[in-house]
Amino acid sequence: MIMNKKIYNCFLVAFTIFFCFNSLAFNKINKDTLPSKKEQSQSDKISLLTYMRVISDSKGSVRTDENIVPKFKLLNWLKLELGFRYGERPQYFNSYYHYKIELQTKSFWKTVRLIARISDNVISFPYPSYRKTNELFVVETKYKLAPMLQCIAAGGYVFSTQQNNDTRALPTSQGNQTNYPVFKLAIKYLLKDKGHVEIVYGSYDVFNPYEINRPFTQIGWEYELAHSCSLYSYARYQYDYNVFKAYNYFLGLGVIIHLLKD
């Protein structure tokens, strides 16, 4: 447990240094140096997010997983995002895996977009093993507070079904059913055309929705390393009912590869 806290604290220190560096580097940005309309309208037709997570729970248990998330532009207003996650624990290498299929609309009127996702979690360890299917529907809104500052607010609902002692990798409608709302509030600071820094408070992320009494706070960033590659990382704290009662600590680090642009 002490070692896990040391690793987490070291990561936070490194993140703070990186954030301060970028803040100093971009504090002179003004309207004259904002991205052009052509740059702002440019988006990926095909991109690939790949990252690794380290998770430590309140009892000191550690697990890791690897994630691959490709995204495809199907239409001018619609994108398809797929995802696969493979997880390990020290006691059991093949502990869990997740997959998802997600549709995302564009931001209509540059403000509102819709997200629909079905995901399946197959947990082999710890016991009892189970599979869980989550169907998520979210409305996400975006507001410009300043030329380089955005506010994001979202709300939605999850239909979740869990079947114990079954590890078939298929969506299930059998077993225990739990339905609950999800939300997200975020402040995003744009680093010109190099990426962004984002602070999030919410109950859903790239793969998993969480019950509303177990939300998380997170600080993360995306930063362009090259024309076709961006750094992706975050540090997250998830609590259990009470903000002072830790549930999980997350560290994520990876890259976004821009395979094909408009």
Interval 37-77: pLDDT, tens: 334 435 899 999 999 999 999 999 999 999 999 999 999 99
What pLDDT is stored for residue 262 in this prediction? 82
The answer to whether the CB of 148 falls within 8 A of the CB of 190 is yes
Q: Which CATH superfamily is domain 44-261 in?
A: Autotransporter beta-domain (2.40.128.130)
- Residue 18, SS3 per DSSP: helix
Query: Tell me: the pLDDT tens digits for 117-170?
Result: 999 999 999 999 999 999 999 999 999 999 999 999 999 999 999 999 999 989
Q: What is the end-to-end Cα distance of the chain in Å, rounded?
A: 47
Task: Measure the CA–CA gap between 90 and 92, rounded to whole angstroms.
Answer: 6
Task: Measure the CA–CA gap between 131 and 84, rounded to whole angstroms.
Answer: 15
* Dihedral of the alpha carbons of 15, 18, 24, 25, in degrees to the nearest 10: -140
